[in-house]
Amino acid sequence: MMNSMSNLYGRTSQDIWNNEYCLIVKRMKLIISYIVILASAFVLSGCNEEVTPNTLFSAGEGGLNLLLPTVEEDIKIPVIYTRADTTLNVEVDPNVFAVEIDGPKPKSFDSFSAMRDSGVPLLLPIGSYVVKAYFPINVEHVSEEPYFEGIQSFEIVEKQTTNVDFVCKFKSLGVELQLSDRFKKLLEEKPYSYDYRVTVLNGKADKEFNKENMSPCYFKEGCERLVVKVNIVMNGLPFPERTWYFTNNGNAPRQGEYYVITLDAGKSDVKMTSFLYNKEEGEK
């Protein structure tokens, strides 16, 4: 009788058990999947919480994101030309600029790169600050590298990051010496009969130009006038020292200017000339 009923419905008790077992397994897998999804969502929610900007800061604290300073372009630097043409091409990597931060919690770094390596944003107490970036460092009055400097004020707001960018400007009084073509020819033809030594002074420091060193110099301070002392040997005979004074069309030389002075010497005469004034500057 049972066999006939089983055959009638086409299912045995074993078939029913197998189907129930499969259904239970599927439900367990579905429950496990829900658990995994919920756990993943919890973990992801925790990660997002950690990178929320507010969690970076303590109470009364904010952040500074100092952007790489822009260096003033060459074309913005006034160049006082002499009769010899020149092209001012100053290349400075702002990553090497020293950084000083003045405010409630002063900080200083040997370079912009070192400041970035210390962590971004830089954590600071709230308040008013001033940041200065400059290069080169440890220069008292004169250097053979141009001095650039940028200063910018900013505010640190609680639990916020402040982005600061600024321009580092040419803050030197640059001086370059060039030789006239006729004097260079004499030096090449008779190197032992012709020589020169030119000293430039700004009242704070001096720089000597000679055969071995013609690198431009950069004074950190301006002056009332540039003093140029010339000692020269022509035809084997030393000439008495002569002095010239240079200004910017009557205005005092100052930071941000670049002077190119030309020494012109023939077989018996010496000149220091300026294209700007189209005349010799006051010889003493």
> Along the chain (284 residues), what's the average pLDDT of each consecutive run of 10 residues?
43 53 50 37 31 69 91 66 54 90 96 92 96 90 92 95 91 92 92 94 96 95 94 90 90 91 75 42 41
Residue 43 has a pLDDT of: 32
Shared domain check, 159 and 243: no
Give the strand pairing for 70-71 and 217-219.
unpaired
Does the pTM surpass 0.85? The reply is no
pLDDT value, residue 30: 45
Asked if residue 214 and residue 137 are part of one domain, the reply reads no
pLDDT at 72: 75
Q: Residue 124 belongs to what domain range?
A: 61-73+90-170
Question: What would the pLDDT profile of 14-59 be if each residue is shown by its tens digit?
Answer: 555 455 555 554 554 444 343 333 333 333 233 332 333 556 889 9
Residue 165 in domain:
yes
CATH number of the domain that 68 lies in?
A: 2.60.40
Looking at the structure of the chain, the number of domains it has is 3
Choose among 243, 209, 212: nearest CA to 226: 243
Is 97 within the bounds of a domain? yes
Predicted local distance difference test score (pLDDT) of residue 68: 87
